[in-house]
């Protein structure tokens, strides 16, 4: 039983990688990089985190509500921006890129 699960997981991974073309993977990578850049730029503008390297949690910031609101607004903006080109790959491509950028 364990062997068949491992074989099916390996087959699924192989199918997922080959189901997307180089163009699709490139669009998703560019979208993720754009989202990451937007999150970093807005976080630097609002000084989040206040002490880089020590307070990664948004709730531990001096103004937690502002930090959470900023993250939500930037997440929605990233979804809208990256859906223009990553949406060509998949309907939820923009959301995927925004989630990767939020990391």
| pLDDT surpassing 70 at residue 67 | yes
pTM of structure = 0.77
Residue 98's nearest CA partner among 55, 25, 49, 37 is: 37
Is residue 88 in a domain? Answer: yes
Is residue 36 in a domain? Answer: yes
Domain that holds residue 35: 20-102
CA gap 21, 55 in Å, rounded: 39
Is the Cα torsion angle 70, 67, 29, 88 positive or negative in sign?
A: negative
Is residue 49 in a domain? Answer: yes
CA gap 27, 93 in Å, rounded: 9
Is residue 47 in a domain? Answer: yes
Is residue 13 in a domain? Answer: no
Is residue 6 in a domain? Answer: no
pLDDT at 10: 63
**Cβ atoms of 31 and 93 closer than 8 Å:** yes
Using the structure block, give the residue that is written with the tokens 């020590």: 54
Is residue 65 in a domain? Answer: yes
Considering its fold, how many domains does the chain have in total? 1
Give residue-wise pLDDT tens across range 5-45. Answer: 666 666 666 666 667 788 888 888 999 999 999 999 998 89
Give residue-wise pLDDT tens across range 39-64. Answer: 999 988 988 887 777 777 888 888 88
Is residue 15 in a domain? Answer: no
């Amino acid at each position: 039983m364990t062997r068949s699960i491992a074989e099916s997981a390996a087959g699924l991974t192989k199918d997922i990688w080959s189901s997307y073309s180089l163009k699709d993977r490139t669009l998703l990578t560019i979208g993720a990089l754009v989202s990451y850049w937007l999150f970093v730029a807005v976080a630097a503008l609002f000084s989040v985190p206040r002490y880089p390297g020590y307070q990664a949690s948004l709730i531990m910031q001096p103004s937690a509500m502002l930090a959470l609101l900023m993250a939500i607004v930037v997440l929605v903006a990233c979804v809208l921006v990256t859906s223009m080109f990553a949406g060509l790959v998949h309907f939820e491509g923009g959301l995927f890129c925004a989630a990767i950028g939020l990391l």
